[in-house]
Amino acid sequence: MKYKRYVLDTSAFTGLGESKAAIERHIKRLTDIVSKSKKYAISFYMPPSAWEELVGLLERKSISGDIISRLDAWTIQKAPSRMELQMPSEFLYQYIIQIRERLNRGLREAEKAVLKAKHHPESHARVISELRDGYREAMRKGMLDSKEDLDVILLAKEINADIIAKDEGISNWAKIWGIRFIDAEKFEKIITVGAK
């Protein structure tokens, strides 16, 4: 039987609903699937950086310590071997191009906000709020924008695993690296079917 590995991003748990109840239900379903899948040679990994990010988020939402412990018992925390992995120069080249494009988009968002504030001085708070939203969208959406995201990609490449996430940036870069990406909304069905 072929051994199957999955690398989980924080968004695999949090991208499907922000409420405490939704996250708890999702984690319970996941850990049930994971515990049953062990006999089918399926394992789940998380880089320590993503695990710490997830635990911090769960604690801020007052998710039960028992649920966090249950999740911890069924996931393997492993850091990618950053010093040993080789990265093609094309990755860096494409990343720099993306950064330049995003900086230009962010600048355009700032310019729009300045012009709007100039013509509507009474609405500075609203303009600032709109600028933050527009800037965040221009700079981060669809981008590898954290060390946790990069660790997920690197670990999946290193251990030849699929990625489970609800993150457009990870999805985009997984495609570039030839790593199978499974949308978090679909992974429960895929894993359940794959384990049969």
pLDDT tens sequence across 66-102 = 888 888 888 899 999 988 877 778 878 888 888 888 8
pLDDT at 110 (0 to 100): 84
Q: Rounded to an integer, what distance in angstroms lies between the CA atom of residue 95 and that of residue 143? A: 9
Burial of 133 (0-12, 13-18, 19+ CB in 10 A): exposed
* The pLDDT of residue 192: 59
Give the H/E segment covering residue 45. strand 42-46
Specify the pairing of strand 76-77 against strand 42-46.
parallel
User: Vertex 33, ends 174 and 189: CA angle to 5°?
Assistant: 60
Residues of the chain short of pLDDT 50, as ranges, are: 1, 196
CB atoms closer than 10 angstroms to residue 37: 19
pTM to 2 decimal places: 0.78
Distance CA 177, CA 81 (A): 17
CA 111, 132, 168: angle at the middle one, nearest 5? 110
Q: Summarize pLDDT for 104-122 with one digit per residue, the tens.
A: 888 888 888 887 877 777 7
Give the relative orientation of helices 89-119 and 168-177 as an angle to the nearest 10 degrees. Answer: 150
- Output the CA torsion 124→129→131→137 (10° steps): -170
